[in-house]
Structure 1
């Protein structure tokens, strides 16, 4: 559930139901998707959120794909653990673990600005934890937090039974001393001491005594809390206080491994903690407020500080590929406005342009409307390819390369749709052969394109929230264009016409066949080719919108604004030009135009303003 779907859904639905119900709905949904065949790839496609290789680190014999983890407060029932590794997290905390089901557990509540966690918070029985962990395919470290109030004999049982399933434990200093005495924990399962900022600042606190045992892997510093009756929430200044504490501890004990829990709502909060010296951090209720995209945004913010000037990649052939499609679209538009059909069309049909006009002039008008729409779509596609080459591939952006080549390959495969009715357009075939070597060199020059995007944007401001709605509009636009293209291609290789087409022509398919049996195949090939072009352009819009939205990326806004215009102008203008203005036929296009305009308006402050 990416941010662009999470926040609209949160406002419309999730905020109106209980925190536990909304939490379980989201976690179970994500976990179900991650569990089905190909589900992990779907999550990756929607978010492109795999942690950059730069953030992999090894600590206490554990390999963390990312320094960002998730606190057990967010998923006490372990409903979403299967999906969290696909959302950019490098590790997950589970717990607090207890031996048996507690007699009293209270769900979290919500106030106007906080999530309230109960002092009798939800806890995870040992059997449930083991049952969940044995079923899950987890490839990131798991840290088990031991409940503070369990008894000595229960602690021994929990540690013994969980050791094969987890990579480390989090507990109090007293619990660690107990385990040390019983020889339950060795270096293979490090124990992290959980401390509050108040404990660390206490004058009687002695860090040397805490970190002395050999089994200690480090400490976990929890963000300061405020109480409200029998509930608590993170203090307003949690990040500032936590950052100050981390810096003080690290200045005194630079080799000490330090994990923070809480105090992060924005990428800037996370950057402050890492700059102060935190080795790892766990997100708590800030993750709920900011949305599932927070780990990805933190990665991009951290990467911004480390990025080196990128040497421009080769992009000539990719640019030439887009330019060729743009020019091809302009040429197709010229023919659609003038002769409409070409000599080889006339040869295949067995009728000249003049003879078709004598039979029914609306036939040529209908063919013109399909060919104009195809030309406009090609021009839009050419602009999108050129922009991806100039601003994405040139600067080494891996996501731009994936978008470029995915759409191009789908576009090439569209030529096979002629099989539906058996008419092969030779000009189309020659253009395909002309593009093929250009695309080959484009694909070859893109092999070195591997850079991860970065961003200086670190706030959850109003522009960002509006940008999410703009992103949602464009994602819907791209998805619906793809669906529309598939539908039109399917019609093109099957029934060819819809009812409004026949009403415009004032003829039935049988009547057209009686004129000439090759007339419908020519019309069908135009329709199928137009549908194929729509699929390709829809994929470009979809992937640009999914992966390209970042604060100040002006070229994304410009690309979507300018790139979509030729297709819309051709799509609506051609119908007006030939007089085919049936409202129900053009309704899908009108709806797409509304999405396009809303997307531009909502995303303008986020993408265009520096």
Structure 2
């Protein structure tokens, strides 16, 4: 569930439910999607959230693809474990784990915009943990937190049973010290992390010097300071600042010690502050619930912003030429749609000249003109978007821009097979694709080495960002709607060809048109199918551009959507008024798309256009 869907749903529904009810609904829904065939690909397509390779690190023989982890507080029942590894996390904490299920526990709750956790924390029995871990295909590290109240014997049983399934353990200093003292020869299989609060370190209750004496100790987990509210607790207001000071003090004394934090992160800037202070890994808690599932990805982009080297421009000229060719092809098609409408080879196939058709029913040529104008406008829009992706995405090595560019281009090429749905092959279209093929081949080759991830300096969860999410949602719906419309028009083009309002406008039934020439409807069908396939291609461009390109200050994204959509809308609406085909129900889908377009532009303007 990306942020652009999470926040509208959270505002309308989730905040009105019990915290546990909304949590389980989200986690089980995401986990169900991840478990179905193709579900992981769907999550990846919507979020594009894989961590960049620059953030990978190895700690004690364990590979962490990202320093961002998720605290066990967020998913104590492990309902969403299968989905979280698809959302960009580098590791997951589970627990606190007990040997047997607890007799009583209180659910978390929302109160005055805060997520309150019960002092009687939800705990996970060992049996459930083993059941989950054996059934799921977990591909990222798992760190098991053992409950502070378990006995020494229970601790040893839990560690013994979980060692094959987890990569590290978290416990209290007393628990870990007792275990490694009695199991010094066995504790080398997994690392152990001692859990502290900043107050415990400040009061010198635990001497950190002891940590360096045991090779089994992996490091420390510093928990965000808490404030109590009756039988509940929540993170302190200045948790991040206190964590930062504690990390600096620990790192100053023990530079090589691995430091993991839990909590204190609600924005990408918070995460960057902890990393800059010396945190090696950090776990998200209630900040993840407030910010949304896109927080790991945004943190990656903020951290990557500090890591990036001067950009070496990639080859992008063939991709630019491909977009330019489609743009020019659309302009040429628009010219013919306004002038001759049908070309000599069309007349030869139909068996009627333009004058003959005009004499019988001039509305037939007007109808054909409106399909060809709409196709031309769509091609021009597609060409503009391809050019912008080449200039601002592929040029700078953006992997998401390459995927967007080539996915839409391949779908566009495959659309040529729809042209012959009724037995008519447009030689001009065929020649156009033959010219494009070598250009696209070189464009595809120059994009093979493009693997970079985007970076962003934006680190706040401000109002501008939230407005941008709603604008992003509008454009995502727009792109998806265009794809659906293109599929419907393509199907109509290769089946019935006409809809009811078409017949009303022409004042002729398909049977009557067929009596004029058996080849007239195939020509019209080829126009419709071609227009439909072009819509699918452009819809993919808009959808993927909106899914993956929205970042603070990316003004070229706003410009591309604003300028790129205009030719298609102007041609789509203008041609209907030009020929007098203004039936409201026929144009209603286009009006809906225009509303989405303008609403998206207004809402996303502060986020994308302002620096």
* TM-score class normalised by the smaller sequence: over 0.9
Q: Answer with 151-160 or 17-26: which moved more.
A: 151-160
How far, CA to CA, are the matches of 1:313 and 1:274 in structure 2? 30
Superposition deviation, residue 350 in structure 1: 0.2
2:223 and 2:370 map into 1 onto residues whose CA distance is 65
Q: 1:56·1:66 contact (CA, 8 Å) conserved in 2?
A: yes
Task: Report the Cα offset of residue 313 of structure 1.
Answer: 1.2
Range that drifts further, 412-421 or 279-288: 412-421
Which residue number corresponds to residue 127 of structure 1? 127
Which residue does the alignment assign to 2:109?
Answer: 109
Aligned twin of 1:148: 148
Tell me how large the CA RMSD over aligned residues is.
0.9
Give yes or no for the alignment of 1:474 onto 2:467: no
Task: Give the Cα separation in 2 of the matches to 1:187 and 1:59.
Answer: 14
- Hey, what's the Cα distance between the residues in 2 that align with 1:602 and 1:338? 39
Q: 1:510 is matched with which residue?
A: 511
Alpha-carbon offset, residue 204 of structure 1: 4.3
Q: Name which of structure 1's ranges 551-560 and 436-445 shifts more when overlaid on structure 2.
A: 436-445
Indicate if the aligned counterparts of 1:69 and 1:280 stay in contact, CA closer than 8 A: yes
2 CA distance for matches of 1:205 and 1:218?
13
CA shift for structure 1 position 178: 2.5
Residues 1:235 and 2:236 aligned together: yes
Secondary structure, counterpart of 1:226 in structure 2: strand
Partner of 2:2: 2
State which drifts further: 87-96 or 149-158: 149-158
Identify unmatched segments of 5+ residues in structure 2. none
* Alignment check: 8 A CA contact 2:72 2:96 kept: yes
* Deviation string, structure 1 residues 375-401 (Cα, Å, up to 9, x no partner): 000000010001001111111111111
Task: Find the aligned partners of 2:382 and 2:562 in 1 and give their Cα distance.
Answer: 13
**Per-residue deviation, residues 521-552 of structure 1 (Å, max 9, x unmatched):** 00000000000000000000001101100000
Question: How far, CA to CA, are the matches of 1:133 and 1:40 in structure 2?
Answer: 18
1:447 is paired with a residue whose SS is coil
Alpha carbons of structure 1 residues 14 and 211: separation in structure 2 relative to 1, 3 Å: farther
String of CA shifts for 1:87-109, please: whole Å, max 9, x gaps. 00000000000111111111001
SS at match of 2:310: coil
Aligned residue number for residue 273 of structure 2? 272
SS of the counterpart of 2:101? Answer: coil
Give the deviation of 1:210 after TM superposition.
4.3
Aligned equivalents of 2:70, 2:52: Cα separation in 1: 18
After TM superposition, the structure 1 = structure 2 runs for residues 130-209 of structure 1, keeping only pairs within 5 Å, are: 130-183=130-183, 185-209=186-210
- Structure 1 match to 2:433: 432
How far apart are 1:211 and its partner, in Å? 4.6
Q: TM-score, normalised by structure 2?
A: 0.99
What SS is found at the alignment partner of 2:66?
coil
Q: Aligned-pair distance for 1:215?
A: 1.5
Question: Which piece of structure 1 moves more, 351-360 or 154-163?
Answer: 154-163
CA deviations over 1:295-348 (Å, ceiling 9, x no partner): 110110011011111111111111111111111111111111111110000000
- Whether the 8 Å contact between 1:172 and 1:195 is mirrored in structure 2 is yes
Distance 1:131 1:448 in 2: 42
- Deviation string for 1:470-513 (max 9, x for gaps)? 00000000011011001100100011111111111111111111
> Hey, what does 2:38 align to over in structure 1?
38
Segments of 4+ in structure 1 off by > 3 A? Answer: none
Counterpart residue number, 1:578: 579
Cα distance between partner residues in 1 of 2:67 and 2:101:
32
1:413 correspondence with 2:414: yes
Cα distance in structure 2, aligned partners of 1:493 and 1:310: 47
Summarize the alignment of residues 546-557 of structure 1 with structure 2, pairs less than 5 Å apart. Answer: 546-557=547-558
The answer to which of 443-452 and 433-442 deviates more is 443-452
Matched with 1:376 is 377
CA distance in 1, matches of 2:105, 2:430: 69
Q: Distance in 1 between matches of 2:443 and 2:330?
A: 20
2:313 paired with 1:347:
no
CA contact (8 A) 2:211 2:219 kept: no
SS in 1 for 2:85: helix
* Matched residues, number: 610
Tell me what 1:226 maps to: 227
Following superposition, the deviation at residue 514 of structure 1 comes to: 1.1
Asked if the contact 1:61–1:188 (Cα under 8 Å) also holds between the matched residues in 2, the reply is: no
Q: Distance in 2 between matches of 1:434 and 1:420?
A: 22
Look up the match of 1:244.
245
Asked if structure 1 preserves the Cα contact closer than 8 Å seen for 2:421 and 2:494, the reply is yes
Question: SS of the counterpart of 2:448?
Answer: helix
* Aligned-partner SS, 1:191: strand
| Distance in 2 (alpha carbons) for counterparts of 1:96 and 1:539 | 44
Distance 1:99 1:266 in 2: 35
Matched, 1:47 2:67: no
SS of the residue aligned with 1:94? strand
Look up the SS of the partner of 2:27 in the other structure.
Answer: helix
Unpaired runs of at least 5, structure 1: none
Q: Distance in 1 between matches of 2:229 and 2:581?
A: 66
1:359 aligns with 2:360: yes
Match of 1:96 in 2: 96
Residues of 2 paired with 1:481 and 1:212: CA distance?
64
Matched ranges for 1:417-566 at <5 A: 417-566=418-567
